[in-house]
Amino acid sequence: MKSTHQSLASATVAVLSGGCSSEREISLSSGAAVAAALRDAGDGRGPARVLEVEITASGAWRLAGEEQAAEEALARLPREVVFFLALHGGAGEDGTLQGLLAACGRRHTGSGVAASALCMTKSWTRAVLAQAGLAVAPGRTVDARAWDAHRERELAACRALSSTGLAVKPDRGGSSVATSVLESAAGLERAIEAVLAIGDRALVEARVLGSECTVGVLGGRAAARALTPVEIVPKAGRFFDYQEKYSAAGASEHCPPLSIDAATCARLRDLALRAHEAAGCCGYSRVDFIVPAAGGEPVVLEINTLPGMTARSLLPLAARDAGLSFRELCLAIVALALAGPEARP
């Protein structure tokens, strides 16, 4: 632990946020919160220097008020900088940025190229988790080509997934952008078209009625741990959509959960660790579940390799229950990146 502490104390951390995805504004909020938390608090435990780097909507890197290409910005930054990735969605989370940093020999927080690409694509994640023995909802993807050529066939196949409702979401998007939860097949055609309109494939899944929970995973290979589950309770008649996630008047989140018993919480933590490992995630992640009201195994919805780090985010809430302040959580994530791949799960 001493060597890790010394590395952290002498480190320069560059917090990357922004990007061009639909989650850009949330990323900027995450980045500002992380940078503020990492800066010197007088406790002698933070990095030596914290830089803020905004990736603009056009893909330029803005450093100290100056915009330049990513390669130029990297050339200006010291080789020993560790990058804290506070990006959500798009090239910041799908492995593209991770690949650039790896190719340049730069250290960064979170998962590498393969796990980032896998978890960014929900249909790929579903396949890997199902193969690992975890429960996923019945589902299928619909792309623009199949939709244009065989719309009625695709609608029929999607309707056959469930008689109790459907969830329609972008296969690669996040923050519930363009996501619909339908109590019946009514509105299915419109929901699929809303996803295709943003240039993504539509993932259509059987709606699982129950309690939505999420579980954060934090730590290295030798000591990865799942945090206490967070139960998400949207306002009546809504699901956990963009407004429910980020509005001050949105969903309520409870850690520990209000309606999930201790045995189910323990099961969720075990499943989250299994999902994190099966997907090859590193450092930290957050795994989303539905606990079916009718009983049975919790159903995995998705894995977030760069979970939100805003005031309303769920990973910091779970960390607080484990005794970690927001600052301590950010420091722990940087320490894992500094420790290198051998310390990652």
Q: Which residues are catalytic?
A: 23, 175, 246, 286, 288, 302, 304, 308
- 8 Å CB contact between 292 and 210: yes
**Measured between alpha carbons, how far is 173 from 186 in angstroms, rounded to an integer?**
23
CB 6: neighbour CB atoms within 10 A?
A: 11
CB 62: neighbour CB atoms within 10 A?
A: 15
Reported as half-sphere exposure (CB side, CA atoms, 13 A), residue 326 has a value of 20
Residues 6+ apart with CB under 8 A from 310: 26, 29, 30, 33, 246
| Helix axes 96-103 and 113-120, enclosed angle (nearest 10) | 170
Strand 166-170 relative to strand 107-108: parallel, antiparallel, unpaired?
Answer: unpaired
Residue 246 region, left (φ>0) first, then alpha (ψ -120 to 50), else beta? alpha
- 8 Å CB contact between 173 and 199: no
